Amino acid sequence: MKNIPKMSLTSLFLIIVMIVTAGCSSTEKASSTNHSKLITDDSKPYVGFLLDTLKDERWYKDKALFEEEIKKLGGQVKTLAANGLDEVQIKQAQLLIEEGVDVLVVVPHDAVISAEIVEIAHEAGVKVVSYDRLIKNADVDYYISFDNEKVGEIQATEILKKVPNGNFAYIGGAESDNNAILFRQGAMKVLQPLIDNGTVKLVHDQYTDDWNPDIAKENMKTALSKNGNAINAVIAANDGTAGGVIESLAGVGLAGTVPVSGQDAELEGVRRVVQGLQTMTVYKPINLLAVKSAEMAIMVAKGEEVKTDKQINNGKIDVPAVFLDPIAITNENVRDTVIKDGYLNEADVFK
């Protein structure tokens, strides 16, 4: 063991991620030592899919559905997840570029730091599609996501239906994620007029590092103790953070009494909605996102231009964009939406 050369933690982690994710990717495995051999058919468009993490339930769906669509369109794809580490995500981009990808589809961990991925990709003549989350301050080629401000508007609107006034807490997502900024912006668009006229008092307002449910739980504990448990409603940015918030509310006997929002229609999130512990979640049909982004990726890989009907300024340029519609889920429409679409199955939800 002694004569193994000292290897940086990142490189060691990267090799472990490579070995693990190489097992998941749909391309044939030649031998793990010679990366370029992993690509079996040079005539097929080769798509690199870079995920921030596989920690949240939805990203497994994104991975499976996107890979399936790329294959259907005659392409080949490799997916790598960075486990929330920026330097690993940049290294993974370098590796896929060296392997000869024709396009990179990226879910950035950090909206600003990931700009480096666009730079190194463009130096190699590889275009970049920002998937679900926007890469800021870079010449991103295309962006595809859901209308993220609308997500926030839907969350605030559904909560106000239950509690039209009182003390509100906002438990946001990761500030490094541009979506978390947009979700909060959308919620505040609805709440601000009520805050201005004193109907609603925003007694706690905090982002959650890395979307971590345990951190959301601690932040909610702070909010409760800071306000003598006098909190009437919580806008939590996704189901993960909502789960943490509801655990804290349970700790003071308020779970099911204080309305809480969520997002992603995770199984546990929807189960809490039908049990009355969580007021709502936001369903984002990922199959639509996967289909449209795979079409986009294959066209870009073939050097074709993609027509888009929208654009968004990322701090450097107006990025051509496609936005899909999010859907509010409450106890009333669970069967007509996520169950009917086969996104979740009835037995699991109503177990």
Interface residues with ligand GAL (CB under 6 A) are: 56, 58, 132-133, 173, 177, 179, 211, 238, 263-264
217 CB-side CA count, 13 A: 13
Minimum CB distance to ligand GAL smaller for 132 or for 153: 132
Smallest gap from Cβ 277 to ligand GAL, in A, equals: 19
| Nearer to ligand GAL among residue 44 and residue 58 (C-beta) | 58
CB nearer to ligand GAL: give 208 or 232: 208
Instruction: State the residue for tokens 């308020």.
Output: 254
Which one, 25 or 148, has the nearer CB to ligand GAL?
Answer: 148
Q: Which helix (H) or strand (E) holds 84?
A: none
Contact in structure between 132 and 145 (CB atoms under 8 Å) = yes
Full strand arrangement of the beta sheet holding 166-171: 200-206, 166-171, 233-236
Min. distance of Cβ 197 from ligand GAL in angstroms? 31
Give least dist CB 238 to ligand GAL, A: 5
Residue with tokens 């961990």: 109
Nearer to ligand GAL, 27 or 178 (CB): 178
d(CA 233, CA 165): 9
CA distance 59 to 51: 8
Shortest CB 154 distance to ligand GAL, Å: 13
CB of 265 to ligand GAL, least distance (A): 10
User: Least distance in Å: CB of 184 to ligand GAL?
Assistant: 12
Helices (H), the chain: 9-24, 57-72, 86-98, 115-123, 148-162, 178-196, 213-226, 239-251, 267-275, 286-301, 346-349
Dmax over CA atoms of the chain, in Å, equals 70
Nearer to ligand GAL, 167 or 179 (CB): 179
Alpha carbons 178 and 163: distance in angstroms, whole number? 28
Residue number of the CB closest to ligand GAL reads 179
